[in-house]
């Protein structure tokens, strides 16, 4: 006589559901731990950091600087111009202090760079940018290029700049945030004014530690 296999099928079905629930539980647990581990840092752009698009500018030494120069590096990037009366020199000094605070950080020592992007290419020649950056830190990289080339970098990141006429001369209006770009060319940090070098350097250490666990 044929045995009724219904109880066995029922047990197998329950076991399968239990197994699925178990693995879902493990996944959810891991996901919740990952979410819980996200640093609570103002301006930390995770889990969907903006990606730096392809661009091509020129350094103060006449060399091409593109997205490839960001890959494999941790880059602090600031947009300004050398004739800026207050925000830019203050920010550059804060970036210098940040670099000094990170002097003993192994990751920054091996992969760190600070990039100044001039949004005033008509006045900021290679010589002027070199002299300007040397006043703060000779290790800083300065880049610029024609407006259409600059917008290839700035527009996808929401960085704004504009020429403002003021009589016989002009000034530049621009975003004043400092960006932190990871080795994959993504903006992981956006530090708004007022810039605090101690906070920025501490945030860098926390972000790079998180990145080592969850590089994305």
**Contact present, 136 and 96 (Cβ < 8 Å):** yes
Share of the chain above pLDDT 70, in %: 83
**Contact present, 171 and 123 (Cβ < 8 Å):** no
CA 57 to chain centre: 18
Is residue 10 over pLDDT 50? no
pLDDT at 35: 52
pLDDT in tens, 66-122: 999 999 999 999 999 999 999 999 999 999 999 999 999 999 999 999 999 999 999
Is residue 9 over pLDDT 90? no
pLDDT at 38: 86
Q: What is the chain's alpha carbon radius of gyration, rounded to the nearest angstrom? A: 24
pLDDT at 214: 86
């Amino acid at each position: 006589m044929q045995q009724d296999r219904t109880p066995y099928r029922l047990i197998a079905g329950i076991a399968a559901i239990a197994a699925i629930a178990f693995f879902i539980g493990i996944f959810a647990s891991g996901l919740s731990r990952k979410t819980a581990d996200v640093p609570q840092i103002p301006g930390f752009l995770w889990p969907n950091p903006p990606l730096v698009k392809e661009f091509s500018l020129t350094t103060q030494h006449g060399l091409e600087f593109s997205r490839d120069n960001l890959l494999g590096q941790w880059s602090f990037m600031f947009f300004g111009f050398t004739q800026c009366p207050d925000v830019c020199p203050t920010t550059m000094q804060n970036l210098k202090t940040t670099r000094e605070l990170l002097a003993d950080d192994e990751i920054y020592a091996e992969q760190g760079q600070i990039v100044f992007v001039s949004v005033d290419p008509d006045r900021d020649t290679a010589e002027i940018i070199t002299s300007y950056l040397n006043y703060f830190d000779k290790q800083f990289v300065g880049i610029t290029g024609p407006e259409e080339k600059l917008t290839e970098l700035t527009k996808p990141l929401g960085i704004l700049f504009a020429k403002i006429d003021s009589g016989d001369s002009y000034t530049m209006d621009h975003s004043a945030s400092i960006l932190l770009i990871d080795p994959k060319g993504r903006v992981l940090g956006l530090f708004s004014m007022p810039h605090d070098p101690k906070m920025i350097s501490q945030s860098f250490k926390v972000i790079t530690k998180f990145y080592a666990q969850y590089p994305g």
